[in-house]
Structure 1
Amino acid sequence: MVENRPFLTFLTHAFLILGFLVVALPVYVAIMASTHDVSTLMSGPVPLLPGSHFIENYSTILTSAAAAHGLPNYSHMALNSLIMALTITAGKIAISILSAFAIVYFRFPFRLLAFWIIFVTLMLPVEVRIMPTYKIVADLGMLNSWAGLTVPLIASATATFLFRQFFMTVPDELLEAARVDGAGPMKFFRDILLPLSRTNIGALCVILFIYGWVQYLWPLLVTTDPGYYTLMMGMKRMVTAQDGVIEWQLVMAGSVLAMLPPILVVIFMQRLFIRGLTETEK
């Protein structure tokens, strides 16, 4: 039985509200700033009430009118980021689930060693191995290409580990029953393991999509062609591209729009996301 302690309940809610305000305040300021004109934003502190330029600012950032302000093509960069995020998400899940399937259900020499080598790569993120990875991509002629943007980021030790842990909880009776019915390894994988992994895949889709969407350092290194610029790169260029006064209202409008896809992914997949992170038995 849970004890009813009003003071602890009040303290818990107070910390939750404080944390929400700390996180939400910059977002609120960005939304309010995106509704004003540049003269208002440059004349003093950022207003905390809505302005009258909401439609004008957002229509400018989404259309070719942004070029008149010295800004890169926002819609094209958003499409590049979407393609990159979806490719990384699909690639990471496909490779990780097949790797975990092989490690758990196949017996081959150095199977556990292969898993631990994969797991140790968690200590070597992209930022640590950035130079050798860039050298390989450059030698393979993958600069300024979709392959160069996505392939080096596809491998995922975290997803492989999560799928492996889940597969180890699947009862052996399912595998035996599949064998009795004459199902081969891939049919067992396709008809039994994939449906059971639906919540895990949903949770990883949310995490990996956001991971791919917010990439900045790697696209900055491997792309010099504006046709491959991603949204995170574009946001930086929106601040430095103009001569003279920075169009902060358009920068803020672009920042607000850049937050929408990850938010929508979390909203529409929150049930699978929560279940995938909390369920331990199927």
Structure 2
Amino acid sequence: MVENRPVLTFLTHAVLILGVAIVIFPVYIAFIASTHGPGTFLRGVAPMLPGEHMVENYSRMLAAGHSTSGAPPLWLMLINSTWMAIIITVGKISISIISAYAIVYFKFPFRTLCFWIIFVTLMLPVEVRIIPTFAVVANLGLLNSYVGLTLPLIASATATFLFRQFFLTVPDELMEAARVDGAGPIKFFKDILLPLSRTNIAALSVILFIYGWVQYLWPLLITTDTRYYTIVMGIKRLAAYADQEPQWNLVMAAVMLAMLPPVLVVIFMQRLFVKGLVETEK
């Protein structure tokens, strides 16, 4: 029986509300800034209510962008970031689930060593191996291309590890029953393991989509053509330009628009995302 403690309940909710307010307040200030004129936030007093320039600022950034900053229109950068995030997500999950399946269910020499070699790559993020990776991409002629933006980021030791740990929890009786029914490795993978992995795939999809969306260093390094700029690169260019002639209303409008796709992904996949993180019984 759970005791009813009003004071403890009140303190719990107060802490949660305070935490939410701390997180939301900077986002609210960014939204307010995106609805005012260019000189409003240079007066030393930040307004707390929306202004009258919201439609003007957002439509300008989406349609034409900020040409003097060297960044293309925001809609093009949003499309580039969306494609990049989707390709990275699908590629990482596809490669990771297949490699984890091979490591767990196929008997071949040095399979444990292969897994640990994959796992050790967690210690080598893109920033550490960026020079040889850039050299390979440049020699293959993949600069200023979607393949160059996504291919070096597709392999994922983390996803491979998570899928491997999940496959180890699947009862061996399922594999034996599938084998008795005449199911081969491909059919067992497609008809049994993939449906069981649905929540794990959903949870990883959210995480990997956001990972691909916020990439900055790699796109900045291999992209010189504005047609392949991502939204994070565009915001950086706008912010750098703002140091010379501040137009924070346009910068904040770009920031708010850049937040929408990952937020929508989290909202629409929230149920499967939470279920994939907390579910223990398969």
TM-score range, shorter chain: over 0.9
- How far apart, in 2, do the equivalents of 1:185 and 1:227 lie? 43
Residue in 2 that maps onto 1:45: 45
Q: How does 1:1-282 map to 2 (within 5 A)?
A: 1-64=1-64, 66-67=66-67, 71-241=71-241, 245-282=245-282
- How far apart, in 2, do the equivalents of 1:265 and 1:212 lie? 13
- How far apart, in 1, do the equivalents of 2:102 and 2:265 lie? 30
1:9-60 CA distance string (max 9 Å, x none): 3333333222212211110000001110012222223211111111111111
- How far apart, in 2, do the equivalents of 1:133 and 1:4 lie? 59
One-letter amino acid of the structure 2 residue matched with residue 60 of structure 1: R
**Cα drift, residue 137 of structure 1:** 1.8
- How far apart, in 2, do the equivalents of 1:7 and 1:43 lie? 43
Whether contact under 8 Å (2:71, 2:226) holds in the other structure is no
Range moving further from structure 2, 223-232 or 243-252:
243-252
**Cα drift, residue 280 of structure 1:** 1.7
Identity %: 69
One-letter amino acid of the structure 2 residue matched with residue 190 of structure 1: K
- How far apart, in 1, do the equivalents of 2:65 and 2:11 lie? 50
Q: TM-score, normalised by structure 1?
A: 0.94
- How far apart, in 1, do the equivalents of 2:232 and 2:65 lie? 20
1:64-102 CA distance string (max 9 Å, x none): 264378653111011000000000000000000001100
One-letter amino acid of the structure 2 residue matched with residue 254 of structure 1: A
Whether contact under 8 Å (1:166, 1:280) holds in the other structure is no
1:190 and 1:220, CA in 2 relative to 1: closer, same or farther beyond 3 A?
A: same
- How far apart, in 2, do the equivalents of 1:273 and 1:149 lie? 26
- How far apart, in 2, do the equivalents of 1:244 and 1:166 lie? 52
Whether contact under 8 Å (2:119, 2:157) holds in the other structure is yes
Alignment root-mean-square deviation, CA: 1.8
**Cα drift, residue 239 of structure 1:** 2.2
- How far apart, in 1, do the equivalents of 2:229 and 2:65 lie? 19
One-letter amino acid of the structure 2 residue matched with residue 240 of structure 1: A
- How far apart, in 1, do the equivalents of 2:242 and 2:22 lie? 31
Range moving further from structure 2, 53-62 or 100-109:
53-62
- How far apart, in 2, do the equivalents of 1:7 and 1:116 lie? 50
1:121 and 1:4, CA in 2 relative to 1: closer, same or farther beyond 3 A?
A: farther
- How far apart, in 1, do the equivalents of 2:98 and 2:248 lie? 46
Secondary structure of 1:107's aligned partner = coil
One-letter amino acid of the structure 2 residue matched with residue 152 of structure 1: P
Q: TM-score, normalised by structure 2?
A: 0.94
1:130 and 1:244, CA in 2 relative to 1: closer, same or farther beyond 3 A?
A: closer
Gaps of 5+ in 2: none
Gaps of 5+ in 1: none
**Cα drift, residue 148 of structure 1:** 1.2
**Cα drift, residue 244 of structure 1:** 5.0
